[in-house]
């Protein structure tokens, strides 16, 4: 089996209202389902993909956008927080592009993320 290295690592915090400017990124027939705060920006699950906006630089005016089609995800795993010393949960995605780690802080519900991924990946949207 081909070994892939981790190419991206994101941290999702709490669930938020979908940012207004996400609408500009959507294609016909696509809609936002749920959004989460990231360290400096947001991640949005849509009916077709996961969009992660990453503000960069000192001012945060430079924005990199990652678009991960659900059809490119081959497998995922979730791990809940272990307790007092291990407070962050984690999601791992194995995709055609490589391996992606998503950390979840206390405000993000790992079972909600697991449910969103199952809904998105296992249904044809």
Positive or negative torsion for Cα 73, 30, 11, 57: positive
Spell out the domain ranges in the chain: 6-122
List for the chain the helix, strand, coil content (%; round to 5).
20, 45, 35
Task: Say if pTM beats, i.e. exceeds, 0.75.
Answer: yes
Domain range 6-122, CATH architecture = Roll (2.30)
**Tens place of pLDDT per residue across the chain (125 aa):** 444 455 678 899 999 999 998 999 999 999 999 999 998 899 999 999 999 998 887 777 788 899 999 999 999 999 987 665 556 799 999 998 889 999 998 888 899 999 999 999 998 65
Angle at 113 between CA 43 and CA 98, to 5 degrees: 65
């Amino acid at each position: 089996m081909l070994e892939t290295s981790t190419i991206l690592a994101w941290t999702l915090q709490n669930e938020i209202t979908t940012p207004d400017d996400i609408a500009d990124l959507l294609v016909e027939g696509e809609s936002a389902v749920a959004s989460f705060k990231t360290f400096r920006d947001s991640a949005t699950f849509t009916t077709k993909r996961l969009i992660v906006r990453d503000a960069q630089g000192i001012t945060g005016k430079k924005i990199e956008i990652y678009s991960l089609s659900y059809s490119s995800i081959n497998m995922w795993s979730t791990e809940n927080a272990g307790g007092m010393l291990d407070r962050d949960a984690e999601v791992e995605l194995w995709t055609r592009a490589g391996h992606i780690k998503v950390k979840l802080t206390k405000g993000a519900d790992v079972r909600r993320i697991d449910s969103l991924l199952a809904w998105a990946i296992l249904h044809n949207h």
